[in-house]
Amino acid sequence: MGDVLNRLQEAVIAGEPEQARELTAQALEAGIAPLDAIDQALNPGMQIVGDRYECGDYFIPDLMMAAEAMKAAMEKLEPELLARQEQRQILGTVVIGTVDGDIHEIGKSLVATMLSAAGFQVHDLGVSVPADRFVEQVKETGVSGDSVPVVVGLSALLTTTMRNQEAVIKALQEAGLREGVKVIIGGAPANPEWAETIGADAYAENANEAVEVVKQLLEV
């Protein structure tokens, strides 16, 4: 059993979606539990990918291919998880999107994938997301001022749209939801000083750092 999981992990690291899909099917046929495949192969594989990106050995295309391999494996595992009425351990909830007027997707999608791989429930709202859509999704999570906070992730790749990160924070305040969420921002023009200026809780430079920052924000 260990051999197929090792090969599945390597398929994720190498960014081989078809191989990952095939090895996941083999793992299930061998009687390996879906949660074991996630915890022992997929998650560690994505962690290695993130570490390699952090130290400069991997680049954005490598992250993208690893993410595709992860998704291919999960497509096989999710129906089996449902059939067994099993759930992955969820560390917290993240609502993420690229802010209104900005259609850049790659960075935001990488962060969403890495967070999902790390065990977070991720609601990816897509690109050019209006402030009220973020508010609507936060409300749907059942967040209130005294609940366990969720994280709102705001991406902006343009100096002309980064102001809309601030607009989302203001919209959350006006809706009475700001106390129940943690806000993390990212994107090329953003930085820690900008995060402080607009009242965000944190800034992350890349997908791997975003995972660590979200864990710190939710204390998990």
Question: What CATH number is associated with residue 185?
Answer: 3.40.50.280
Pairing outcome for strands 202-203 and 181-186: parallel
**What digits encode the pLDDT tens for the residues 57-73?**
998 889 889 989 998 99
Q: Is residue 146's pLDDT more than 70?
A: no
Q: Give the CB-side neighbour count of residue 160, counting CA atoms within 13 A.
A: 5
pTM above 0.85, yes or no: no
The span from the CA of 55 to the CA of 138, in Å, is 34
Q: Is the dihedral of CA 37, 43, 46, 52 positive or negative?
A: negative
Provide the pLDDT for residue 143.
61
Considering 13, 48, 83, which residue would you say is the last residue of a domain? 83
Residue 117 and residue 59 share a domain: no
Considering 48, 83, 118, which residue would you say is the last residue of a domain? 83
Residue 73 and residue 133 share a domain: no
Residue 56 and residue 121 share a domain: no
Residue 195 and residue 136 share a domain: yes
Q: Is residue 137's pLDDT more than 60?
A: yes
Residue 75 and residue 116 share a domain: no
Q: Which of 45-49, 101-105, 136-140, 141-145 has the lowest mean pLDDT?
A: 141-145
158: in domain: yes
Q: Is the dihedral of CA 12, 15, 18, 19 positive or negative?
A: negative
